[in-house]
Protein backbone atom coordinates (compact mmCIF):
# COMPACT_ATOMS: atom_id res chain seq x y z
CA UNK A 1 0.00 0.00 0.00
CA UNK A 2 1.58 3.27 -1.06
CA UNK A 3 1.28 6.64 0.68
CA UNK A 4 -1.58 7.81 -1.55
CA UNK A 5 -3.66 4.74 -0.74
CA UNK A 6 -2.97 5.21 2.97
CA UNK A 7 -4.12 8.82 2.70
CA UNK A 8 -7.31 7.70 0.94
CA UNK A 9 -8.04 5.25 3.76
CA UNK A 10 -7.46 7.94 6.40
CA UNK A 11 -9.74 10.37 4.56
CA UNK A 12 -12.51 7.76 4.29
CA UNK A 13 -12.20 6.93 8.00
CA UNK A 14 -12.28 10.60 9.03
CA UNK A 15 -15.25 11.28 6.77
CA UNK A 16 -17.08 8.30 8.26
CA UNK A 17 -16.34 9.41 11.84
CA UNK A 18 -17.42 13.00 11.17
CA UNK A 19 -20.58 11.89 9.36
CA UNK A 20 -21.50 9.47 12.15
CA UNK A 21 -20.95 12.20 14.75
CA UNK A 22 -23.13 14.64 12.81
CA UNK A 23 -25.90 12.06 12.46
CA UNK A 24 -25.82 11.29 16.19
CA UNK A 25 -25.96 15.02 16.99
CA UNK A 26 -28.96 15.59 14.71
CA UNK A 27 -30.79 12.57 16.12
CA UNK A 28 -30.07 13.82 19.65
CA UNK A 29 -31.53 17.23 18.84
CA UNK A 30 -34.72 15.67 17.47
CA UNK A 31 -35.06 13.28 20.40
CA UNK A 32 -34.69 16.10 22.93
CA UNK A 33 -37.08 18.31 20.99
CA UNK A 34 -39.82 15.72 20.70
CA UNK A 35 -39.32 14.11 24.10
CA UNK A 36 -39.86 17.38 25.96
CA UNK A 37 -36.58 17.00 27.81
CA UNK A 38 -35.40 20.52 26.94
CA UNK A 39 -38.72 21.98 28.08
CA UNK A 40 -38.38 20.32 31.47
CA UNK A 41 -34.83 21.66 31.80
CA UNK A 42 -36.06 25.21 31.22
CA UNK A 43 -38.73 24.82 33.89
CA UNK A 44 -36.27 23.22 36.32
CA UNK A 45 -33.85 26.11 35.84
CA UNK A 46 -36.55 28.71 36.45
CA UNK A 47 -37.84 26.78 39.45
CA UNK A 48 -34.34 26.49 40.88
CA UNK A 49 -33.84 30.24 40.54
CA UNK A 50 -37.12 30.96 42.30
CA UNK A 51 -38.78 32.35 39.16
CA UNK A 52 -42.03 30.54 39.89
CA UNK A 53 -44.33 32.80 37.85
CA UNK A 54 -42.12 32.59 34.79
CA UNK A 55 -41.73 28.83 35.23
CA UNK A 56 -45.51 28.43 35.47
CA UNK A 57 -46.01 30.55 32.35
CA UNK A 58 -43.48 28.40 30.46
CA UNK A 59 -45.04 25.21 31.76
CA UNK A 60 -48.52 26.26 30.61
CA UNK A 61 -47.14 27.25 27.22
CA UNK A 62 -45.44 23.86 26.80
CA UNK A 63 -48.59 22.06 27.95
CA UNK A 64 -50.47 23.61 25.03
CA UNK A 65 -48.31 21.48 22.73
CA UNK A 66 -48.00 18.46 25.02
CA UNK A 67 -51.15 18.46 27.20
CA UNK A 68 -50.61 14.97 28.61
CA UNK A 69 -46.90 15.19 29.38
CA UNK A 70 -46.62 13.82 32.95
CA UNK A 71 -43.47 15.80 33.73
CA UNK A 72 -45.04 19.07 32.69
CA UNK A 73 -48.22 18.26 34.64
CA UNK A 74 -46.10 17.50 37.70
CA UNK A 75 -44.21 20.77 37.46
CA UNK A 76 -47.43 22.72 37.00
CA UNK A 77 -48.77 21.22 40.23
CA UNK A 78 -45.53 21.94 42.08
CA UNK A 79 -45.49 25.51 40.81
CA UNK A 80 -49.07 26.08 41.96
CA UNK A 81 -47.96 24.80 45.36
CA UNK A 82 -44.88 27.06 45.42
CA UNK A 83 -47.06 30.05 44.48
CA UNK A 84 -49.48 29.10 47.27
CA UNK A 85 -52.31 28.62 44.81
CA UNK A 86 -53.50 25.78 47.00
CA UNK A 87 -56.86 25.01 45.36
CA UNK A 88 -55.25 24.64 41.94
CA UNK A 89 -52.33 22.70 43.42
CA UNK A 90 -54.69 20.31 45.19
CA UNK A 91 -56.70 19.68 42.00
CA UNK A 92 -53.53 19.01 40.01
CA UNK A 93 -52.01 16.70 42.62
CA UNK A 94 -55.29 14.75 42.86
CA UNK A 95 -55.29 14.22 39.08
CA UNK A 96 -51.64 13.18 39.16
CA UNK A 97 -52.18 10.77 42.06
CA UNK A 98 -55.02 9.18 40.11
CA UNK A 99 -53.46 9.13 36.62
CA UNK A 100 -49.67 9.05 36.97
CA UNK A 101 -48.26 6.04 38.86
CA UNK A 102 -44.73 7.43 38.63
CA UNK A 103 -45.68 10.54 40.61
CA UNK A 104 -48.43 9.09 42.80
CA UNK A 105 -46.45 8.74 46.03
CA UNK A 106 -45.05 12.27 45.83
CA UNK A 107 -48.41 13.72 44.85
CA UNK A 108 -49.97 12.11 47.93
CA UNK A 109 -47.31 13.75 50.12
CA UNK A 110 -48.17 17.15 48.69
CA UNK A 111 -51.88 16.44 49.18
CA UNK A 112 -51.17 15.60 52.81
CA UNK A 113 -49.39 18.93 53.27
CA UNK A 114 -52.21 20.78 51.52
CA UNK A 115 -54.73 19.01 53.75
CA UNK A 116 -52.91 20.34 56.79
CA UNK A 117 -53.00 23.90 55.45
CA UNK A 118 -56.79 24.06 55.20
> Over the stretch 5-55, which tens digit does the pLDDT of each residue have?
888 888 989 999 999 888 888 776 665 555 456 788 889 999 999 999 999
> Mean pLDDT across the stretch 98-115?
94
Domain ranges of the chain: 36-117
> Mean pLDDT across the stretch 88-102?
95
Nearest alpha carbon to residue 100 among 76, 65, 118: 76
The dihedral sign for the CA sequence 11, 13, 16, 21: negative
Give the CATH number of domain 36-117: 1.25.40.10
> Mean pLDDT across the stretch 90-108?
95
Whether the Cβ atoms of residue 58 and residue 90 lie closer than 8 Å to each other: no
| Radius of gyration, alpha carbons of the chain | 23
pLDDT at 66 over 80: yes
Per-chain mean pLDDT for the chain: 88
Neighbours of 32 (CB within 10 A): 13
Give the Cα separation of 23 and 97 in Å (integer).
Answer: 40
Amino acid sequence: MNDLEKLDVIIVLLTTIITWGAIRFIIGVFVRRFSGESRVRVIQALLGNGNFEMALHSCKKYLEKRPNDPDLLWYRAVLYFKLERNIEAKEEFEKIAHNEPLYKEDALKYLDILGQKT
